Amino acid sequence: MANFDHDIAGARVHQAIVRAHAAATVTELVNIFQAPFTCAIRSVHIRPDAAITGADTDTTHVNLLNGGTVGTGTTELGNIDFTSGTDGAVGELLELFAPATPLALAAGALLKLQLEKVGNGLALPQFLAIVTFEGA
């Protein structure tokens, strides 16, 4: 019998809504997950509420960062650069991070999205961030 949540076998899913990002908005950070206990991150995906059409020169990169337990970490774990030819359909599951070996994350550590403005930026619609994790 499992005594603690982290003792329950199998994957769990955490979802966070990320509000729309205007093209003119400066680079911003959004917390999407705080580890409830020491865990392993299996994957992180996003699902846009509207279509995204990539563009060169004026674009936005979506970077997944390991914020650490203090929230100031800047290690990039994965990214989608919405440049020309990199698009997202409405509701499409877009992979940001899915390592062969899950990433160990300390209890209380944060995962953050950096919406990085390049040039004049690219507007992004609201989207769902989906973190799949398990007890470690």
C-alpha 121/C-alpha 107 separation (Å) is 34
Give yes or no for residue 1 having a pLDDT over 70: no
Domain count, the chain: 1
pLDDT score of 22? 95
Give yes or no for residue 7 having a pLDDT over 70: no
Residues of the domain holding 97: 5-135
State the burial class of residue 79 (Cβ atoms within 10 Å of its Cβ: 0-12, 13-18, 19+). Answer: middle
C-alpha 71/C-alpha 112 separation (Å) is 8
Per-residue pLDDT of 54-69, as tens digits, reads 999 999 999 999 999 9
Could you tell me the CATH number of the domain that includes residue 55? Answer: 2.60.120
> Count of H helices and E strands in the chain?
0, 9
Average pLDDT, the chain: 93
Give yes or no for residue 125 having a pLDDT over 70: yes
Determine the longest span between alpha carbons in the chain, in angstroms.
Answer: 56
